[in-house]
């Protein structure tokens, strides 16, 4: 049964995003694909983050994160933000600190600055439901999705 659901999950498509966080101890970013809009009034977004991710505890602490829509031409960001060293992730990247204190990447298609209003853990990932407090569009282009990348995460086998 497990292989069947993983094969079926592998047919689902998602956007690929960079999720950023910041605490007094530093900054971090990670690749996130389990992300969706859940409301437009008020504007809400949900992101699923595994508790073993460094960013997870940072989000729990600050109740804020940034979410960035990246272009198909920015696949290099996947390798950068999948890496373990937070300092290397932001080296040479143009970013600013947003109003909620999270890193906002300047060279992505669009971005959201979010404040967590609810969190739930119905399974092995925490669902962070967050209110959009600021957003912007930097450029036009085609967003990167799991259709553009063969290493899609569907869960551990």
Q: Which pLDDT value is given to residue 157?
A: 46
Rg of the chain, C-alpha, whole Å: 15
Give percent of the chain with pLDDT exceeding 90: 78
Listed in sequence order, the DSSP H helices in 27-142 are 54-62, 76-82, 86-90
- Residue 29 Ramachandran class (φ > 0 left, ψ -120 to 50 alpha, else beta): beta
Nearest to 128 by CA among 43, 59, 58, 40: 59
Is the pLDDT score of 65 beyond 90?
yes
The structural domains of the chain, with segments of one domain joined by +, span 2-148
Tokens of 60: 């729990």
pTM of structure: 0.93
Max alpha carbon distance in the chain (Å)? 46
CATH class, domain 2-148, is mainly beta
Report yes or no: 139 and 109 within 8 Å, Cβ to Cβ. yes
**pLDDT tens-digit series, residues 90-132:** 999 999 999 999 999 999 999 999 999 999 999 999 999 999 9
| CA pair distance 93, 88, nearest whole angstrom | 10
């Amino acid at each position: 049964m497990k292989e069947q659901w993983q094969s079926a999950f592998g047919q689902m498509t998602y956007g690929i995003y960079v999720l950023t966080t910041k605490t007094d101890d530093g900054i971090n970013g990670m690749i996130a694909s389990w992300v969706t809009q859940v409301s437009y009034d008020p504007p809400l977004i949900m992101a699923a983050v595994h508790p073993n991710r460094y960013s997870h505890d940072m989000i729990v602490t600050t109740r804020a994160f940034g979410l960035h829509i990246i272009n198909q031409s920015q696949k290099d960001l996947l390798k950068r933000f999948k890496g373990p060293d937070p300092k290397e992730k932001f080296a040479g990247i143009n970013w600013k600190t947003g109003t909620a204190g999270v890193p906002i990447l300047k060279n992505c298609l669009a971005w959201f600055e979010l404040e967590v209003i609810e969190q739930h853990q119905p399974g092995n990932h925490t669902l962070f439901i967050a209110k959009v407090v600021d957003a912007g569009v930097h450029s036009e282009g085609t967003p990167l999705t799991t259709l553009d990348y063969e290493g899609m995460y569907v869960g551990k086998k």
